[in-house]
Structure formats: structure tokens, C-alpha cells
Structure 1
Amino acid sequence: MAKIVPFKAVRPTRDKVCLVTCRSYEEYVNAELAAQLDFNPLSFLHILKPAYTNQETVSFEKRYRQVHQKYEDFKNEIILVKDKKPAIYIHKIVTKTQSFTGIIVGTSVADYCNNIIKKHEDIIAFRVRLLKDYMKYSEFNTEPVLMTYPDNKTIENWIFNCIQKLADFEFSTTKKEIHYLWKIEDALEINWLQNIFEKTQSLYIADGHHRTEALKLLSEENDNPQNTAKNHILSYLISENNIKIYEFNRLVKDLNGFTKEAFLQELQKEFIIEDKLQQAFQPSRKHEFGMYLDHSFYSLNLRNENEIFETSLDRLDTQILYKKVLLPILAIEDLRDDERIEYLSGKQSILELQNKIDQEEFEIGFILFPSNIEEIKALADADLIMPPKSTYIEPKFRSGLVVYEL
């Protein structure tokens, strides 16, 4: 039931690809961003931030039109070139510890509206409108929505055979990742893959909920029936067993007026607490939590191990921590906007969490066990929403590698 389509991608030329592609704009600290913009004239960051050399304050619309103009400049200078035939693309990322391989295609906005493409995260309306306007005026999208499909041996074997051929692109990044891209433009092969996905009941958004919703709005505003590009979502489809899900750990600035002793007494009503002293502790299973407070690590285990959870949301560790600790004891109601709480991805060492607390930026930290794909699917199937900052999911796609024109 899931529909996929090929498209004519705009891509860097082979000799320039390692200089053009970049990480997502938000991932750069200011000094690194400035260095890229100052010393690499081919970086896609010049498209994403075209006013860098002219730091005037402009409206969103004017800035987005500048993005489009800079994008056109890159095409005119033959830095970016549009493929002549519609194609699908296989992309492989090899890091120091693992590799990811997926398929870049267009998926259907209608499938998203009809819940064939399923979501598990909440969205912020203002951010969605900004993204919609950005894509409307820039007229392109270069950040695919990461979606998972059920493990499929037929697709796995097909990908394996495809990637035995010489890649169209092969390049390394400063993060010591190796990227490969293969273009598949044979019509019979594409049709065969489309038929495979038509038998797939659902696709699940892993990362890119705001972008998907923005593309839905853009499609609804489309008054040109000839422009079918706006009816599709640039997507990176990856097998469920090939994504990596990290937790987001929680840092809180105070104990809501409790002393350490009184706080621990409150915790003991719901958790069995074990003081690990200076031994860094990381949970090894669901419903087990780590905590760092006053130079000591603690393990927290639910006191009622046989507690009955009514929904898949209630069983989530992030929801358990919210319902039993953050809300009733620490009075943190809004996980997204409360200034007393911040988040640290599980990709970062818990020693960084320890360091932030020891330096008195925060008073307490909570360490979680990561969610899994089955929990994400259960939530999506039940039309439930994860708490904010529940998962950090890889792979992450590089901007400028594949551009989808709208």
C-alpha cells in the first residue's frame, strides 16, 4: 500500500561532492560554521545561509528567496547538476562503529494523510509553518525524512546486488564517515521495487516529523496540478533493523525546593534506590533508570515490577520518569519549554552529564535506557505521541547530497 516514486535529483558533480555536502545547518557551532563559510566556497552551507557576507536583517520570505537564488547560482556554475532521467538512489554511510544503507525515493503525501506513513512525535505549528514557507520560496528540499520499513529479505538481497557495482559517489567527511551513492534508473527495476513497497502495509517516520507535516501543507497549497513534485516527500527508507536509536538523558537545574534527603524519600515511594557512589551507572534494561546527584550515581528500579500499564505510552521509560518523578516531585509540567530541564543525547558520554552537574550548571541528571523500534511502532499504530526528546535516531543525512526540487 505504500507508494514510492523515482525523481530527477539535483546532485553535486563527482569531483566536488566532498566539498559541497554538509551536515545539517543546526549541527555546526558558530566557529565551525564561520570557518566553513570563509574557506569553502563550494559548501552547501552558502545556499542555506546566503546572507553570511551581508549580515543585514531581512524578512523570512526575502531570506528564503535568497536561498533559492544562491541555489540557482550553484546550478549555473555547474556545481550542482540535475539528473536527466528519474531515478531512485541507494545511499550507504559507514561510520567508525556501524553502517547504514537505505533507499532515497519520493513517498506520497496522500499516504501520510491516510496514515499509511505513520508518526509518533508531536509537532510545533510555528516550526511547521516556517519549514513550509522555506520550501515554498526556496523551491527545493535536501533533507530526506527518515522512514523505516519492515525487514524484507528480498529488498535486502536487491540492495546487496546493487552495491556491488561502482558507486556514483564515494567520499569521506571530516567526521570520518564514508558515504556512497548509487543511482538506479532502469525503469523495470524501479517498477519492480514499487511493486514490492505496494505490498508494504505501513512506513514509520523515524526522524523528520516537522518536515513531513510542512510538505503536507505545501501540497495543500499547490494550485498547479501539473506540479506533482509537491505531492511527494523526499524520503530515506531504511530497514527497521538498520537504524540506531539512542536515548535522551535529562538534566534538571534544581530539586524544586527539596533537600537531597527529602527528595530521595519521595523517590523511594516509587523506586528501589541503590547508591553506586562514584561508579558511573548506565541502565541495562527497560524500567531501570540511572541518576546522578551530589557527586554520586544511583540506580532506580520500579518498586512495583508488575505494574500494569494501560497503553504503550504508559510503558515508555520517558513517560514513566515524567509521571513518577519530573511532574509530581520536580514540578516540570512542560517537557518542551520548561527552562529548568535540558537534554543530552545518549551519543554523548554520561561523564559529560556528570561534568555539567559537578560544575553546578544543573543539580540532578537522569540516565535512561534507549527505546526500540517496536515501541515506536506500537505508539504510531495506536496514534499516540512520544514525550519530547525521547529518541535520537541515526543515520543522519548530509545536506546537498541529493536535492529534490519542488
Structure 2
Amino acid sequence: MSFDHCLIRPFAGLRPRRQDAAAVAAPPYDVLSSDEARAAASGKPLSFLHVSKAEIDLPPEIDHFAPEVYAQSAENFQRLIDDGVLCRDPHACYYAYRLVMGEHVQTGLVAAASIAAYDSNRIRKHEFTRPDKEDDRVRQIEALNAQTGPVLLVNGDDETLERLLREAAESVPVADVTGDNGIRHTLWMIDDEESVAPISALVEAMPALYIADGHHRSAAASRVAAARRGQAGAAASAEFFLAVIFPASQMRILDYNRVARDLNGLSEEAFLAAVGERYHVLPSTSPVKPERSGVCGMYLGARWYRLELRPGLLPAADPVRRVDVSVLAEQILAPVLGITDLRRDTRIDFVGGMRGLGELERRVNSGEMAVAFALYPTQMADLMAVADAGEVMPPKSTWFEPKLADGLVSHVLD
């Protein structure tokens, strides 16, 4: 099968030896601060954080985007290769990747995804990107000549593809790692033509794939491909980016909650009255975790309230305005609190659902914040509808959990 014009293709992954996988695997580069990464990698010379967060091996005061950081990353990456910790598979293959978090299990496909499909919007986006973050990922890819942070993609459910991945997961894994957070990451190689060919055909028949997480990584890969295109000796591998693809029904999106620093000059009574014009406000004796769209939990003055959107206020057709993060912004954040720019306004902050409702209480009780909102999680169907419409989600709309590990497999651009 030719992979010159395709949605995905197999690739020869660069990955740790089985015995080193646990020592190498690391959290994604963008979920830890430099201080947290420095602590997490302390005493762990093989940790991939030395590649993905190389500033931890340089003086603490260094600019995290300085050329020395990317040079250090490349040096650390090459050392892992030279020492035989990271080894290249001898031929192109796919990989099955299973994540287990408590009772939640999701099994996906590791593949090289097409830049052309990304550029033409067959691999669909739902977020704006920031140039500075794109620049950082471009420099990292160029320094390593490899993509090491996988992009999280989603496909429409396909039982045949899921069966092939389950069958692959019956073999001996090439990596089986349980992180400090208890999440288990298991990787299997798929290198037999009887599986590779049908997997390729099944994905190729899909009308679209959707970026769940990794917009800056995919945008950076596209920029690197464009810069290299036409250069003498340019490798075809640069026309693809590292991805892990999961079926939509297996994805787990947690709530992404909001906290505001003040009530925009209103007393608590006046604020509750303004909210009551848009929501039914019901005091609660326990934390409110919304069970459906249109319901919101609010923590104010050491007390929880259940907010139920009044009839007729939910936009009927607009896929962006219908998601709960948009509804909150339109009904409370902008008109009542005066917060209209979620990207720049320092009066608003965001709390991922993994931290729990107790974190919302803590930040209000401490006096740092005045009010907190617990939101119903964005649904996968909502995200796909927004992407299909060519629109973008509001900032901080989705918190995917569990997250992929860095270092288990990388895509070399050769």
C-alpha cells in the first residue's frame, strides 16, 4: 500500500528498551512547571523530562526559550540514543496504546498523521494557537529532528478498528508503565501486514480526524514541514506528525471550571440577584457537580448554589454558544462580572476537573477568589460539531484525562 497521499501511515518509532520504559516515560511537557519538572526528574537521569523540559538541567534563572535550552534538549536526547536507552525500530509499524485510569480504559492507535490532511482541515482543529507556543515547539522539533510529544486525535467509533487494536493488545507489550499518578500506559507493536494494511484502510475511509489536545504541536509540525518542503534531501517523514488516535466514545473529558477574583463591585446580594435573572438559583447543602448541560454549580460566600439556566436562554443551533463554558460566559462572566476576554483578563482563572470541587472551595475560602463556578464537562460530540463547523471553542473548554506520556515513542524526521 502506498502512503504518499494518506491520512496516516506507519513509522519506525524511536522508543525505550522495555527495561528502561518506566525510567524514561514522563508527563507531557506542558502539564508541569519547570520547578515541578525539576523535582520530578531529580535522581532520574533517564527521565524524558530532561529532553522535554531541558531547562531543568540549566541554571534556574535561564530563559526557558533560550537557545541553550534547545541545545541541552538535543544533547540529552542524543545521549539517550547513544547509550542505547532509546532504540529505533527496524521497520515501519503502528502501535497500540492503552491508558488505564482507575476503571477507565481507552485503547488507541499510534501513527504518523498527515500534514496535508491537517492543512486541508481533514484533521480538524477547535482551538486558536499562540505564536510564541508554536515557536517553542518548532524550535524543539528542529533541535531534535524528531517529534516527541504526541498529538491526541479522535476518530469516529469503528468496531473493526477497535477489534484489531484489542487483538494487538493480546501480545507481549513493548512498554508497560504505571506512573506516579497511578495511570498505566501500555504499548504494543503492530508490525504484521495482516493488521497494518486493514488499519490503514479503515482510517483512510474516515471522513475526518479531530484534534483533542496538541494544537500547538500539530501547528508546529506543519510549519516545519512547510519550511523543509522543496529542500534538497528533505525527508518525507517531515510531512507527518506523531499522533495517538482514540475512538470518540472512549475519550474522557473532565470539567474545566472557572474562578473570578471579584464581583465587579457588586455586593453578594446584588450579584445573586443579577445571576437570578438568568438562572434559577437554588442553595445547596453540598458541593454541586452538574449532571447535565444547563446546570452550573456556584460557590459564593462559603455556600454552594445550584444554578439552572432559565428556559429560552440556550442557543438552539450555534455549536459554540451551546457549550456550557460559552453559556456561563454569555450569561454571567460578561454581563454581570464584566469579564469579556477570557484569554487576557487577569480577573478570571481556570481549574481543571482533576483538582476536584474542593479546589474551588479552597481558592474562594482563601480570599484569593470571590466566586467559583463548577461546569458540566464539554462533550466529545460538542467538540466535533464545533470543529466540523470550522469554529473554535472558547479558551479552556476541555480537560482530557488521562494524558499521554512523553518518551514512550518518538517520530524521527529522516
Alignment TM class, shorter chain as reference: over 0.9
Equivalent-residue separation in structure 1 for 2:268 and 2:399 (angstroms): 30
- Residue number among 95, 103, 107 corresponding to 2:109 in the alignment: 103
What SS does the corresponding residue of 1:27 show, helix, strand or coil? coil
Across the two proteins, how many residue pairs are aligned to each other?
405
1:192 alignment partner in structure 2: 198
2:277 alignment partner in structure 1: 269
Cα separation, partners in 2 of 1:198 and 1:29, compared to 1, 3 Å = closer
Deviates more, 1:252-261 or 1:173-182: 173-182
Cα separation, partners in 2 of 1:35 and 1:325, compared to 1, 3 Å = closer
State the Cα deviation string for residues 45-102 of structure 1 (Å, max 9, x = none).
2223445444173663332122112211111111111111111100112222311211
Deviates more, 1:20-29 or 1:385-394: 20-29
1:238 alignment partner in structure 2: 246
1:387 alignment partner in structure 2: 394
1:94 alignment partner in structure 2: 100
2:134 alignment partner in structure 1: 128
Which blocks of at least 5 consecutive residues in structure 2 are unaligned?
none
* Residue 252 (structure 1) shift: 0.3
1:18 alignment partner in structure 2: 22
One-letter amino acid matched to 1:258: L
Equivalent-residue separation in structure 2 for 1:2 and 1:364 (angstroms): 49
Q: How does 1:191-340 map to 2 (within 5 A)?
A: 191-222=197-228, 223-224=231-232, 226-276=234-284, 278-305=285-312, 307-340=314-347
1:150 alignment partner in structure 2: 156
Equivalent-residue separation in structure 2 for 1:178 and 1:116 (angstroms): 31
Equivalent-residue separation in structure 1 for 2:305 and 2:191 (angstroms): 55
What SS does the corresponding residue of 1:320 show, helix, strand or coil? helix
Equivalent-residue separation in structure 1 for 2:106 and 2:344 (angstroms): 33
The alignment status of 1:57 with 2:62, answered yes or no, reads yes
Equivalent-residue separation in structure 2 for 1:57 and 1:371 (angstroms): 38
Asked if 2 retains the 8 angstrom alpha-carbon contact of 1:379 and 1:385, the reply is yes
One-letter amino acid matched to 1:98: H
2:47 alignment partner in structure 1: 43
> Runs of 4+ in structure 1 displaced over 6 angstroms?
none
What SS does the corresponding residue of 1:206 show, helix, strand or coil? strand
Equivalent-residue separation in structure 2 for 1:303 and 1:174 (angstroms): 44
- Residue number among 172, 175, 179 corresponding to 2:181 in the alignment: 175
Asked if 2 retains the 8 angstrom alpha-carbon contact of 1:102 and 1:237, the reply is yes
What SS does the corresponding residue of 1:73 show, helix, strand or coil? helix
Cα separation, partners in 2 of 1:50 and 1:302, compared to 1, 3 Å = closer
Deviates more, 1:32-41 or 1:5-14: 32-41
The CA RMSD measured in Å over matched residues stands at 1.9
One-letter amino acid matched to 2:324: D
Equivalent-residue separation in structure 2 for 1:401 and 1:224 (angstroms): 31
Equivalent-residue separation in structure 1 for 2:255 and 2:314 (angstroms): 23
2:374 alignment partner in structure 1: 367
State the Cα deviation string for residues 157-195 of structure 1 (Å, max 9, x = none).
111211111212223222222221111112343122111
* TM-score relative to the length of structure 2: 0.93
State the Cα deviation string for residues 116-154 of structure 1 (Å, max 9, x = none).
111111211221122112211222222111111111111
* Residue 31 (structure 1) shift: 6.0
Asked if 2 retains the 8 angstrom alpha-carbon contact of 1:148 and 1:239, the reply is yes
What SS does the corresponding residue of 2:111 show, helix, strand or coil? strand
Which blocks of at least 5 consecutive residues in structure 1 are unaligned?
none
* Residue 304 (structure 1) shift: 2.2
- Residue number among 48, 53, 67 corresponding to 2:73 in the alignment: 67
Asked if 1 retains the 8 angstrom alpha-carbon contact of 2:175 and 2:408, the reply is no
Equivalent-residue separation in structure 2 for 1:158 and 1:19 (angstroms): 29
Cα separation, partners in 2 of 1:17 and 1:308, compared to 1, 3 Å = closer
One-letter amino acid matched to 1:124: R
Cα separation, partners in 2 of 1:134 and 1:34, compared to 1, 3 Å = closer
